[in-house]
Each structure stands twice: as C-alpha cells, then as structure tokens.
A and B are shown apart, each in its own frame.
Chain A
Amino acid sequence: MLNYSEKALPKEPPRHGDGDGDVHTRITSQLQTYYNQILAQPLPDRFQELLLRLDDEAPTATDGERGE
C-alpha cells in the first residue's frame, strides 16, 4: 500500500487563470491604476492659491513646529 506523507507529495504547479498568481498580478496593477488615477487628477484651485500665498511668506527655519 502506498503511503505518501504530505511532505513527499509534489507541490502543486502554479495555477493560471483565477489562481493566486493571477490575483497578485491584478492587485499590483490595480494598486498602480488606483494611485495613478489620483496622480492624474487636476490639482484643485486651492493649491494654486496656497502656493501664491506661500510665495509671499519667507520660509523660516527657527520658528514653528518641527515636521517630524
């Protein structure tokens, strides 16, 4: 009688189609699509206004809360 321990069984070959490999590829590409969609959005006007306002203020190194 053949008695295979679980360890001795050959590993399943990588699956295709709806297998895990496919899901991971999809995750990678959808994550980038998600992120790139936001990157590609036009900046809201408030940022233009903010930059104009900041340009009028000299940045200082001595005062203010440290960013980290």
Chain B
Amino acid sequence: MSETKAELRDEMVACIPSLRAFAASLVGMGDRADDLVQEALVKAWANLGRFEPGTNMKAWLFTILRNTLYSTHRKRKREVQDVDGRYSAMLASQPNQTGYLDLDDFCRALDQLPDDQREALILIGASGFSYEEAAEICGCAIGTVKSRVNRARSRLADILGADATSDFGPDRAVAAVLATSPGSAVKISAME
C-alpha cells in the first residue's frame, strides 16, 4: 500500500465512529446501522481512487453511506426500537440517573421526526458539518437543509417542551434538585 493510500486508509478508519453515529440516526442503532457502515466502507475503499486528497473525507464517506442506504432495497422505515432497553444498556456505566431519563425522552422525540429532518439535524447539530456540506451530502439546496433543521428543532421543542411543563414537570424539578444537591437528597430520604 502506498503512503498516500495508507494515509487515506487512516483517515477512513478515523471516520468510522462518526459513520456509525450517522447510520444509527438514519436507520436506528444496531446491526443494520453497522451493516450500512460496513457496506459504505467497502464501497469507499473500492473507489478510493476517486477521492480527491485534501477534500473532506468525512463528507465523502457520509455521502457514500447515505447513497448506499437510499439506492438499495434496504430503504425501509426506520426501525422503532425499545428506547429504554437500548439506552439504559448503552448508558449503564454512567452515574447520572437524571441524564438517562432525559436522554430516553430525547431519543423518543428524535424518533418522531421525519427522516429528512432528523438527518439534517444530525448533520448540522451533531456531526459538525456546515450547511453547505450537509446540502451536498443530502443532494439538496442549502435553504432546504436550513428549513429542515429549523423544523426539526421546533418539533423537538414542542415535544420536549410539552413534557417538561406537563407530565414530567414536577418530577424533573425534584430530579434536578436531587442530582445537583446530594445533601438535600439525604435529607429527603431521611424524612421519608
């Protein structure tokens, strides 16, 4: 393997975690996401000669992954998953209980977004792409990406905002106090 190819390979490898996160946001977390990443990597490797060194490897790989998904018969509805199961398992080692509960709610809300909005939100809000790069990855206009991101944010705000002020309001307030103030947690449990 030439030095350039070795460098490109390393760049590709460095992008695998981001690709997995992007794939999980497109098709749900699990084997299907990893199948997609694997397929995209194989395609990218076979076409490495088409990659222009110096351009954005991550954006190139994201484009391939996305096209792999949309051009194959595997385009199915994003699998609805057991959010509690997958996230409690994933976060089991984390000490902050309030954190999991919030994240479970968040993932449920994310699941409710239309695919194109969720994808735009992930590219811009989490993967660190510019609007221009995201537009290229999705093959649409920059304005379209912006509008999808805005709609995704307001939809999430509606869902999560409603949760915060109605059903879960008081619990959240108590949870927040307990989480930030171990002293008061001890007092509360002592009073019970």
Residues of A within 8 A of B (CB): 18, 20, 22-24, 26-28, 30-35, 37-41, 43-44, 46-47, 50-51, 54-55, 57-68
Surface stretch bound by A, among B17-25, B73-81, B140-148, B179-187: B17-25
- Give Cα distance in the complex from A31 to B127, angstroms: 10
Chain B 135-162, CB-CB to A under 8 Å as 1, else 0, gives 0000000000000000001001100110
- Interface contact B38-A46, CB-CB below 8 Å: yes
Decide if the interface of chain B is mainly helix, strand, loop or mixed: helix
Residues of B within 8 A of A (CB): 1, 5, 9, 13, 16-18, 20-21, 24-25, 29, 34, 37-38, 40-50, 60, 63-64, 67, 90-91, 99, 102-103, 106-107, 110, 121-122, 125-127, 153, 156-157, 160-161, 164-165, 169
CB B167 to nearest CB in A, in angstroms, measures 12
Also in contact, A35 and B126, with CB within 8 A (given A24-B157, A59-B49): yes
Q: Hey, which chain A residues are within 8 Å of B16, CB to CB?
A: 43, 47
CB B173 to nearest CB in A, in angstroms, measures 9
Also in contact, A23 and B161, with CB within 8 A (given A37-B90, A38-B17): yes
